[in-house]
Amino acid sequence: MDDVTEAPRGPVVERVPEGDERPRMVCDDCGFINYENPKIIVGAVVTWGDKYLLARRAIEPRKGFWTIPAGFMELNESAEAGAAREVMEEAQAEVEVGALLGVYSLHHINQVHLIYRAEMTTPDHGAGYESQEVALVDWADIPWSELAFPSVRWALEAHHRHRGETNFAPETCPEIPHRIE
Amino acid sequence: MDDVTEAPRGPVVERVPEGDERPRMVCDDCGFINYENPKIIVGAVVTWGDKYLLARRAIEPRKGFWTIPAGFMELNESAEAGAAREVMEEAQAEVEVGALLGVYSLHHINQVHLIYRAEMTTPDHGAGYESQEVALVDWADIPWSELAFPSVRWALEAHHRHRGETNFAPETCPEIPHRIE
Ligand SMILES: [Zn+2]
Ligand SMILES: [Zn+2]
């Protein structure tokens, strides 16, 4: 009789499944194959007039650092709707989503960031549960040295560069720091 | 003693995990939580001079219909690299990937399509194992009624509309047919 006292552990074994070409994470307890794909982060550079909406992160990674509202795109929403949802969740602000500012393939962490331009429809905002603090700041007061991720800087700079433009190609990663492979 | 003869089935139970807000698919055999996120399809409208590279699908869905090269983005690649990989896999052509033509959120099937403009670097092409046939066709000869998916038409039309342009916003879904929810 097999010893079944050991707790099963989910898809933690790396193997090339039959009929596939690449190694996938499989579970030897239940046979599940976890087809891991890159995940989509949706977010927005949000403005009210000339001011930028920034949130100080209440959660790891980079707790205490400033970010734009962004997070994992969920099922059954468009990228634009997801970006608006993240703004509401993290900064309690209602926005209209506009142009796509950047498509950042962060392949060292298997994420593609779709970052939009968005304008608040009212000045109301506040800290969602993932934020310690939310603020509307002038361009000159953006805390560049306290931004949570390089992609936050890229997106803010893309927004600034494309002020007044309505038809432009989204930017891509200007650099891939900390590449791990 | 538990009856352990029944085969475990992987993450097939829908439940809101502790500390989460949304229902996820969980496995009662091993406790694995399958955080399903939208998947990214990367592809390209590929040209050689004035001709468009189309592939007739050798696999379901829409076997026998014509498509542009496109498929699931894999781990550890940029979106542009993934699009070039798909062109090589499905149409055995080497390309240089250029402008982003479209970002199509197909939320009824939980896919985001990132479709690029790409130019062949040589006229060589051929049928990969997912294609019955690969052809270079004039715009006038595109088999519009035999295209595999609406997004193929959208991308081809986006390509045609933006000929000669180098800095333009990617298009989005002009329509979401067959919306299921
Ligand atoms: Zn399992
Ligand atoms: Zn399981």
Tell me the per-residue pLDDT of B124-135, one tens digit each, with 9 for 90 and over. 999 998 999 999
CB spacing of A76 vs B110 below 8 angstroms: yes
Q: Range with the lowest mean pLDDT among A4-8, B77-81, B92-96, B131-135?
A: A4-8
Q: What is the CATH number of the domain that holds B32?
A: 2.20.70.10
Split into its structural domains, chain B has a count of: 2
A10 touches chain B (CB under 8 A): yes
Q: What is the ipTM of this complex?
A: 0.82
**Does residue B75 lie in a domain region?**
yes
Q: Nearest 5 degrees, angle CA B177-CA B36-CA A15?
A: 120
Domain interval for residue B89:
39-161
Percent of chain A exceeding pLDDT 90 equals: 72
Beta bridge pairs of residue A61: none
Q: What is the mean pLDDT of chain A?
A: 90
State in Å: Cα B27 to ligand 1 middle. 7
Q: What is the CATH number of the domain that holds B102?
A: 3.90.79.10
CA distance B104 to chain A (A): 8
Tokens of B146: 């035999």
Please state, in angstroms and as integers, the Cα–Cα distance from residue B6 to each residue in A28, B2, B32, B41, B47, following that order: 15, 10, 18, 36, 53
Sign of CA dihedral A5, A6, A11, A13: negative
Confidence at residue A16, expressed as pLDDT on a 0 to 100 scale: 86
State in Å: Cα A3 to ligand 2 middle. 17
Q: What is the mean pLDDT of residues A98-106?
A: 97
Distance CA B31, CA B145 (A): 47
Would residue B19 be called left, alpha or beta, if left means φ above 0 and alpha means ψ between -120 and 50 degrees? Answer: left
Distance CA B138, CA B36 (A): 40
**Does residue B179 lie in a domain region?**
no
Q: Nearest 5 degrees, angle CA A143-CA A144-CA A148?
A: 90
Same domain, B138 and B114: yes
B74 touches chain A (CB under 8 A): yes
**Does residue A166 lie in a domain region?**
no
Same domain, B92 and B136: yes
Distance CA A40, CA A4 (A): 38
CA distance B52 to chain A (A): 22
CA distance B8 to chain A (A): 5
**Does residue A94 lie in a domain region?**
yes
Q: Is the pLDDT of residue B5 over 70?
A: no
Distance CA B101, CA B107 (A): 19
Same domain, A26 and A74: no
**Does residue B167 lie in a domain region?**
no
CB spacing of A112 vs B73 below 8 angstroms: yes
B130 touches chain A (CB under 8 A): no
Same domain, B92 and B45: yes
Please provide residue A38's backbone torsions phi and psi, each rounded to the nearest 5 degrees: -60, 145
Q: Which of A166, A164, A163, A161 is nearest to A174 (CA)?
A: A161
